Amino acid sequence: MSGNNGPSGFLTIDKPSGITSFDVIRELRRMLRIRKMGHSGVLDKPATGVLVVGINRATRLFQHFAGFEKSYTGEFILGMSTTTDDLAGELSAVSEQPLPTREQFAAMLAQYTGELQQIPPAFSLTKVGGRELYRYALAGEEVEVQPKQVEVISSELLDFESGLDPKDVLWEDSQLLERIDEIGPLARARVRVLGRGGVYIRSLTRDVAADLGSLGCMGRLRRESVGPFSLDDAMRLEDVAARLEEGATVEDLLEPLGAIANGQASLQLDAQQCGMLRNGMGIRCPRKALPPGSYGEGDTVFALDGRELVAVLQFHGVTPQGLVELRPEKVLG
């Protein structure tokens, strides 16, 4: 089905554990018989939760997801480290230091807020020299990785257990079970993290543990939201299949392109403004027509006609008459 003439919109999938993000795309292509689709940000194979899939013209909007807030609930495992910084990898080392207390962990976690420099996990899709890091790791090649700036907006400690038997922490299919006799008691913290800029929860776990004088890796991870898309709106792959069997069309399943603007800086257009944008012209509007907030040169504003996304605009200052100047970056409708 053509990406220009076919249905366009977003599908929020609750990705299960055990398959890759591309496996989700592959299965949806088979079910929906649409080729042009992609996702807004990879979830590792063991992770679950929100995977926003864009269909046809929606794929043109993925660049605007980079600034969206993303929320996660994850398990921080303390007392051991692995090659992948999660429980899917091989055992690297076991900590010889006493496990941190709940109070120590909470105090250190609180320090990891704001702008941070993170080194991505060795087994990740981050590219160096045009090649994914996991490919270097699989080949046993060392490569210099530059830190990446991310933002942790907030983190909340939900639960903390210490002195746990490793068999009560490790996954049933984990290769770590082969060396379970080498692993001592572990601690497990359940944490909710709100971040931006591609925060690696695996790296966060590793770094918090290191600063506590311990070792750490990530257990289960669930992404709860990506910008305006949340688990409340998510469907499992089997839900999609069931809806199609019941006679639903692709259009019935999709959220409109305008869904990207929920809770974001947006502007409702009149007929004249719609026409101007569709002709490639910029528009001006009173400052009060935009949501409250501060706007800087080049900031994104989504332009809507009802729920239809007409264009993605850029803020270009205020005229002497007090009108906001907006120029089209991308016209979609």
The dihedrals phi and psi of 79, each to the nearest 5 degrees, come to 120, -5
DSSP, collapsed to helix, strand or coil, labels residue 223 as strand
Please identify which of the residues 14, 44, 86, 207 carries the catalytic annotation. 44
Q: In angstroms, what CA-CA distances link 279 with 20, 71, 331? A: 41, 38, 9
DSSP, collapsed to helix, strand or coil, labels residue 45 as coil
Q: Give the Cα separation of 171 and 181 in Å (integer).
A: 15
Q: Give the Cα separation of 113 and 149 in Å (integer).
A: 12
Residue found by looking up tokens 């969206």 in the block: 68
- Those residues with Cβ within 8 angstroms of residue 170's Cβ, 6 or more apart along the chain or in another chain: 87, 176, 177, 180
**What torsion, rounded to 10 degrees, do the Cα atoms 17, 19, 24, 25 define?**
150
DSSP H/E element including 13: strand 9-15
Active-site residue flag, 239:
no
Q: How far apart are the first and last CA of the chain?
A: 19
Catalytic machinery residues: 44
